[in-house]
Chain A
Amino acid sequence: MSNFEQEKHLLEGLALNDAKVIEGIYRDNYPMIQAFILNNNGNSDEARDIFQEAMIIVYEKASSGTFELNCLLKTFIYSVCRRLWLKRLQQLHKYGNNLLENVEDTVAVEEDLELHEKHDGDFVIMENAMSKIGEPCKSLLDAYYIQKKNMQEIASDFGYTNADNAKTQKYKCLVRLKKLFFAQYKNG
């Protein structure tokens, strides 16, 4: 396989949440990022955080279906981590002395980060809306939409007499979730 095909394969696997692919990307890239962060005023916990966020960014891009990588995945991950770390350092009022060197090894990722921030914001809004609808709605919607259980299973788990009752309840919950979600979404 050519380099290009290999990378395409990686991204496809990532979009499908393939654990082997995720592990492979970690093995190939994590040591580099860890070294970078440890050398720039960070610790290993921070390295783990940053890398995780970068992985989520790559995942979001890969699963959007329109992702065309115009550089090596390694370069992309490095660029994202570098940018994220610089931001983190600024927030902490630390400085990245030598962080500005080697800029030629990186690609512009500003747009990707902005998009990610929006996604992340949506994620938090949904999480909040979910946490506010109360039980049994939360567990019910979680079981159906997040854990993807079928209605039959859910009916027996939650003690509904039949799947239709559970379904009606689920729709009622969904109406509440919708209200909460859009209320925050519009305010946010």
Chain B
Amino acid sequence: MDEILLIEAVERYLKGEMTQQEKTFFEEIRKNDPSVDQIVVEHTYLYNELDKHANVKAFKHSLYEVEQKLTLEGIIKKEQLTGKAKVVFLWNKYKRNIAVAASIAGIVSLVTAAAISTYSTNVGKNDITQLYAKINNTNIKLDQLEGKVKANANQPIHKIAPNPDFRATGFLIDGKGFIATNAHVVNRMKTIYVENSKGEYFAATTVFSDDNTDLAILKISDTAFKTIYNLPYSINKGTADLGEQIFTMGYPRNEIVYGEGYLSAKSGNEGDSTAYQVSVSVNPGNSGGPVLNKNGEIIGIITSKNSTADGVVYAAKSKNIYKLLEAAKKSGDTTNIKLPTNTSLKGLDRVQQVKKMEEFVFMVVGN
């Protein structure tokens, strides 16, 4: 018997879709042919596993939503420990391990370094290339754009960006349509469009921008954009470690490009404490792209690279996003952006991670 026909029969059998006559016939075949019976047993097992898998997935999803809700209500605490707990925590460790003393010294020196670099003036930015891409009007990109318009003439969701001059990258930080990118990107654009990996275009406007950390947040203003409820990645509030494996995605071309590397320093250009130095291959157009660690937590945003040294790329730290939003909230902002705090990418292999997040990384174009 053809295996595909048999599978179909098994599926109908298990779902109880067979007529009494069919059922008798099916059971008869099973009884008489052990090899058929074997396949039925295997498939029954596979179906049960698939079913369980689907249920556990759905349940995890519900857990995630409840968690989000209760975190907002403050019933579930976020990362930071309360002052007292932190001291107890350190003290317990200290008792056992003198090495903590060294790490405290480390923290102190980091804080000092941070303070010094924050208050010192920024000099020598000349060697830095910001990684937005200039788009030349005769370039392939526009040819392809026109092609796309014809192909998708029936789908109103595709809009044409009016002759974009610049291209960069951004990524969703809130499914309601908020996208993080670089301030230097949006500063150059009067009209902004974003395009996802499926080729859908949306108009966007800048809601916040901060030149010091080179961060900007856009809001998709298009009504065609549908809210996305579960972003697969989280945005890290802490500091990443030296040597961590990282990867990034961006639009140095008209197509999304993946790159991987490692975290090479905890500060950026001239000791800039708001950025990391990473080693990853990037090109104009990568600006605003997310930098993720192996667990699928966003730790930074690509901003610039050193044009005189090789493989020296700077990424703004992800905690700047939190800071930017907090500052905005204090000054009376009510956009109520909720950053994703749970990653569902942990433990997956890289290909899967990339596949899952690809559609949330946008090309930012404008003029």
A binds B: yes
Chain A residues packing against B (C-beta within 8 Å): 17, 19, 22-23, 26-27, 30-31, 34, 38, 41, 43-45, 47-48, 52, 55-56, 59-60, 63, 95, 97, 119, 122-124, 126-127, 131, 141, 145-146, 148, 167-168, 171-172, 174-175, 177-178, 181-182
Contact A126 B53 (CB under 8 A): yes
CB-CB under 8 A from B43, the residues of chain A are 178
A-B contact pairs, 29 of them (CB 8 A): A26-B67, A26-B70, A26-B75, A27-B70, A27-B75, A30-B75, A34-B76, A34-B77, A44-B76, A45-B79, A56-B59, A56-B60, A59-B56, A119-B52, A119-B56, A122-B49, A122-B53, A124-B347, A126-B49, A126-B53, A131-B351, A131-B352, A141-B50, A145-B51, A145-B53, A146-B53, A148-B54, A172-B4, A175-B4
Chain B residues packing against A (C-beta within 8 Å): 3-4, 7-8, 42-43, 46, 49-60, 62-63, 65-67, 69-70, 75-81, 85, 89, 92-93, 96, 347-349, 351-352
Contact B53 A131 (CB under 8 A): no
* Residue among B4, B59, B67, B70 with most chain A CB within 10 A: B59
CB-CB under 8 A from A56, the residues of chain B are 56, 59-60, 63
Give the Cβ gap from B248 to chain A, nearest Cβ, in Å: 21
Prevailing SS type, chain B contact patch: helix
Query: Which of A123, A167, A177 is the one whose CB lies under 8 Å from B56?
Result: A123
CB-CB under 8 A from A141, the residues of chain B are 50
Give the Cβ gap from A93 to chain B, nearest Cβ, in Å: 10
Contact A59 B59 (CB under 8 A): yes
Contact B54 A146 (CB under 8 A): yes
CA A34 to CA B349, docked complex, whole Å: 30
CB-CB under 8 A from A146, the residues of chain B are 50, 53-54, 57
Which residue on A lies nearest to B349, using beta carbons? A131
Contact A43 B79 (CB under 8 A): yes
Query: Which of B59, B85, B352 is the one whose CB lies under 8 Å from A38?
Result: B85
Which residue on A lies nearest to B96, using beta carbons? A95
CA A97 to CA B59, docked complex, whole Å: 34
Give the Cβ gap from B228 to chain A, nearest Cβ, in Å: 15
CB-CB under 8 A from B52, the residues of chain A are 119, 122-123
